[in-house]
Amino acid sequence: MDDSGNQRTRRRDYGGAGLHRADLAADPLMQFSAWLEAAIADRIADPTAMALATVGAGRTPSVRIVLLKHFDAQGLCWYTDYRSAKGAELAENPFASVLFHWREQDRQVRISGSVRRLSAAESDAYFKSRPPDSRYASAASVQSAPIADRQALERAVRALRKAHAPDAVPRPAEWGGYRLRPVEYEFWQGRPSRLHDRFRYRTSNAGGWDVVRLQP
């Protein structure tokens, strides 16, 4: 604590290499892909973990960590229970922002845009690719809903195991994927003395991307 009694938090200086306009790909998806591949190559823990921020009808933002499962020119995809808190908020307000933080590289990427559900066929294909235990858990749980105790959840999983073989667990109709279609990207590279590098891509009226440097 300092002399006023306030709790002080620790900070560190950043030492990342510089990021210049000439370094950036014309397409932000290519730039994101390159940074994600670098995070994976550097064996950063959970490189596909992203903070997902949503806002529902009450206009109160909420955020949680989810895992990016795949992405392409159409957007970034993840899977969850549509009845979850984030599912309810996206039903009310189909826009979101995600943040990737690769601490070891002093890098962040923020991506914002509209969100839509994936097709049933896409959700079925991903659900079938999951480990059996994950399929049982997803089918047994109504995410975000109250439950009496852990034993009740474990009983629901045991009942599903008795009813369905591991390769025959049905995907719940209320479980599936979402795709965020980006309209804005921001790439942040930490630098010493708070003089960080930040570049923002936004969709342009011409159909491409406008890129500007932002002050740190």
The catalytic residue positions are: 194
* Measured distance CA(152)–CA(146) in Å, rounded: 11
* Measured distance CA(147)–CA(167) in Å, rounded: 27
> Residue 216 belongs to what H/E stretch?
none
Three-state DSSP state, 121: helix
- DSSP collapsed to 3 states, 64-87: EEEECCEEECCEEEEEEECCCHHH
* Measured distance CA(84)–CA(142) in Å, rounded: 7
